[in-house]
Amino acid sequence: MREALFYFQRLREFFEPVLIPLWQRDTYLRKKVEELAFALEKSKKAFLEKGSFAFCAACAKKGIRCCGEGLEWKLSQEEFFLNLYLFHLENKIFSFPKNSDRDCLFLGERGCVLKLTPLFCRNFFCRELSEFLGPANLIFLQNSLEEEVTLTFELCEYLKKQFNL
């Protein structure tokens, strides 16, 4: 995990001097990140409403975690930058949680500390959770992700073009 921590710390160091100036002058980027924040809240509400987060929290209290070591590599550099922008939008500073080397780098005491988790994580439903939710709720939750997934893709492509990432 130290390699992952080093990698994402380096990306964060790149963010302030290079990406904050882009944020300040690029109204398209700011508008789209604001839309993404709204879409994330909508899907979060859907997951709360269907009991998905509570189900995962109950498993975590039993010592069962799906967020294992190495899952941090599912997050692209563009998605990490979008997370930093989302924190910036709220006038907050992202910090890495202190956790076990057996856990994902972004797993904190109350779940994932990212505002925008990788699509792999957002769309992962273990067998037990799938059974708990049932087919109709699974479809509902996957549909609730559509807007944030579309905006994430658009923004990641935009950042790639801006910085030849």
CB of 36 closer than 8 Å to CB of 152: yes
| Residue 27 burial (C-beta neighbours within 10 Å; 0-12, 13-18, 19+) | exposed
Alpha helices, DSSP H only, in 1-145?
A: 2-14, 20-25, 27-50, 52-61, 77-89, 119-122, 127-144
Write the pLDDT tens digit of every residue in 22-50.
888 999 999 999 999 999 999 999 999 99
Q: Which residues pair with 103 in a beta bridge?
A: 68
**What is the structure's pLDDT at 68?**
84
- Of the pLDDT bands very low, low, confident and very high (cuts 50, 70, 90), residue 107 is confident
Write the pLDDT tens digit of every residue in 108-147.
887 889 999 998 888 889 999 999 999 999 999 999 999 9
| Residue 1 burial (C-beta neighbours within 10 Å; 0-12, 13-18, 19+) | middle
Distance CA 67, CA 152 (A): 21
**What is the structure's pLDDT at 60?**
79
Q: Which domain holds residue 76?
A: 2-25+33-163
Q: How far apart are the first and last CA of the chain?
A: 23
Report the number of distinct structural domains present in the chain: 1
Calculate mean pLDDT across residues 84-88: 95
